[in-house]
Amino acid sequence: MLKCKHVTEKADALVDGSTLSWRERLALRLHLLMCGHCRRYVRQMGALLGFLPRQETPLEDAHTEVILKKLDSLQDS
Amino acid sequence: MADAQLEDPRFIEKLRQGDRAAFGQLVRGHHNMLLATARTLLNPADAEEAVQDAWIAAHRSIAKFEGRSLLRTWLTRIVINQAKMMLRKRGREIQFDPTNDPDALAHRFHDDGHWQHPPQHWELSGPDNLLTREELRRCMEKHLHFMPDTQRLVLELRDLQGLPAEDVCNMLEISASNVRVLLHRARARLFEMVDHFQETGEC
């Protein structure tokens, strides 16, 4: 029988979709069916990862141009 | 997550042929993400330099890019190599030993592996959503900043940029199990921090 401590370790794979063997997946699902604390852990961890502060803003055009100019100058020389 | 257009084979072909505008699109779309990666290992000024140098290296070798990985994996690998080089110049090196930092959640379990201090309930919807609260965001930034570099790096690559686990192992030259442990430690720290905030209202 899986212990809660191990569930929190294995749950990483559930949260990010990594591969688990069917045996591991089944054991995990069975445990979660019976354990509300672990269900809460998995749900909240998933939500937390979705809220991490991501860096997605594109670089401003002016700064992009500076980098391109530098590349041009290296190519010419 | 990055724009799918920047992984499009037609776009990549333009890059390989030296199309300046396409390279500009690439820089525009990925620069800040690459900078975030470099900053997990370097101070802001060094990180900026490492990414600039990475663009030079990428520009020089893009014609040889064969599409065996995602383009952004390829770019990230170049940035990490530049960052490692810079660390070496400063007499430092990254240590990927996950055993020197304990699991932040370990104290929550009884010896028999059952919860001793189970997680608090977090409100996750509506205007009271815990994760959207401004104080919590600030607290999270602080914890991310003080996290061990290697944990922060693996978290950045896996959970923020969504790179495949296999790519992360390859570019950092560490085993899959070390990546798993580092990622778990990083996530456990953040979970612990949010749960503490929920319970006490303090960072």
- ipTM of the modeled complex: 0.87
pLDDT value of residue B100: 72
Q: What is the pTM of this model?
A: 0.90
Confidence tier at A53 by pLDDT (50, 70, 90): confident
What tens digit of pLDDT does each residue of B91-117 get?
888 877 777 778 899 999 999 999 999
- Please choose, from the candidates B92, B88, B87, B95, the residue with its C-alpha nearest in 3D space to the C-alpha of residue B38: B87
Q: Which domains does chain B have, with CATH numbers?
A: 3-89 (1.10.1740.10), 98-200 (1.10.10.10)
Exposed/middle/buried for B100, CB within 10 Å: 0-12, 13-18, 19+? exposed
> In this model, does residue B169 exceed pLDDT 70?
yes
Distance from CA of B154 to the nearest CA of A (A): 13
B32·A70 Cβ contact <8 A: no
Which residues of A fall within a CB distance of 8 Å from B112?
3
Say if residue A22's pLDDT is above 70: yes
Of B115, B124, B144, the CB nearest to A47: B124
The whole-angstrom distance between A76's CA and the closest CA on chain B is 13
Best mutation target among B34, B53, B55, B124 (most A Cβ atoms within 10 Å) is: B124
Question: Which residues on B lie below 8 Å from A5 (Cβ)?
Answer: 106, 109, 113-114
A17 shares contact with chain B (CB less than 8 Å): no
* Contact yes or no for A41 and B119 at CB 8 A: yes
